[in-house]
Amino acid sequence: MAPSRALIRPTANLIRHTKPSPTTLLLRHHRQASTTFPSDSELPPPSQSSSQPLPPPPQQPSVNALPPPKLKPLTEAQRSFLSSCLRVNQAGELAATLIYTAQTPPVLAREPHLAPLMRHMYDQEAAHLRTFNALIAKHRVRPTALYPLWSVLATGLGWTTAVMGREAAMACTEAVETEIGDHYNGQIRRLLEMVSQWEEEGYEVGEEFRELIGTLRRIRDEELEHLDHAVEHDAQKAEPHWLLTGVIRAGCRGAIWVSERV
């Protein structure tokens, strides 16, 4: 059964978010925490016999002394990076659902046994898109302004490769997922660098930030699973494979570069 295009609709509504605003919630977890615990120097010494003098009472902290911040505020560059991550990921996942939507009818017309595979990959892409739709709305990130252009190009790419045959359709998936896998890996690396830096400086890392990294890892793994499926289904027998995958990969890199910025 061909996937429904209705999934695009909620995303299209997000385009109306024209007011750019910071990734508010990721910032929110970086507010100062109020809970503090006594340091080792404030703890009473181990139990002593009654013949020994009582230890001095622990000193009360000054009312004016603020606890050190437990979560470090994001810099402007980090905020901008997180916004661009969500924007480009949402655009990419929209493109992926449109590629599979366009590919499925021509591919299944010749190879109906591929229906479960096409359905499985589409369903995962649709779930990725829902994830980033939710994140982009939650953090009030502006979606890419080139949304309509990417939609047309993705549909055209999916339909063209599917009409060329199963091998070309799978080569398209191979090329796209190779670039997307690298793209997610780059984001995960950068976020892990931020985590390492905060930990070295003695700050805590918010649960929401860790969840974002976990989400990106899970989606990255699913994209690489699609890459494996494509290769298993003769992607590399497409003619001419080098040209097809080269052009699609270059197109993906260009689209990623632009969507991060526009």
On whether 17 is known to bind a ligand per the annotation, the reply is no
Q: Bridge partners of 183?
A: none
Q: How far is CA 225 from the centre of its chain?
A: 16
CB of 226 to Fe ion, least distance (A): 4
Copy the structure tokens of residue 102. 């366009």
Encoded one letter per residue, x for contact with Fe ion by CB under 5 A and - for no contact, window 233-262 reads ------------------------------
CB of 11 to Fe ion, least distance (A): 14
Q: How far is CA 261 from the centre of its chain?
A: 16
Contact 79, 209 (CB under 8 A): no
| Long-range contacts, 41-44 (Cβ 8 Å, 24+) | none
Residues present in the chain in total: 262
On whether 139 is known to bind a ligand per the annotation, the reply is no
Closest CA to 195 of 213, 183, 181: 213
Contact call for residue 96 and Fe ion (CB under 5 A): yes
On whether 30 is known to bind a ligand per the annotation, the reply is no
On whether 128 is known to bind a ligand per the annotation, the reply is yes
State which of positions 119-138 bind Fe ion (CB under 5 A): 125, 128
Q: Which residue is nearest to Fe ion (CB)?
A: 128
Instruction: Specify the residue, 23 or 124, whose C-beta has the smaller distance to Fe ion.
Output: 124
State which of positions 215-234 bind Fe ion (CB under 5 A): 223, 226
Cα–Cα distance measured from residue 196 to residue 187, given in angstroms and rounded to the nearest whole number: 14
Instruction: Specify the residue, 223 or 260, whose C-beta has the smaller distance to Fe ion.
Output: 223
Contact call for residue 179 and Fe ion (CB under 5 A): no
Q: Is the dihedral of CA 114, 93, 248, 16 positive or negative?
A: positive
CB of 43 to Fe ion, least distance (A): 51
Contact 225, 254 (CB under 8 A): no
On whether 177 is known to bind a ligand per the annotation, the reply is yes
Instruction: Specify the residue, 154 or 194, whose C-beta has the smaller distance to Fe ion.
Output: 154
Site size for Fe ion, by CB under 5 A?
6
Q: Which of the 8 DSSP states describes residue 262?
A: -
List contacts with Fe ion (CB under 5 A).
93, 96, 125, 128, 223, 226
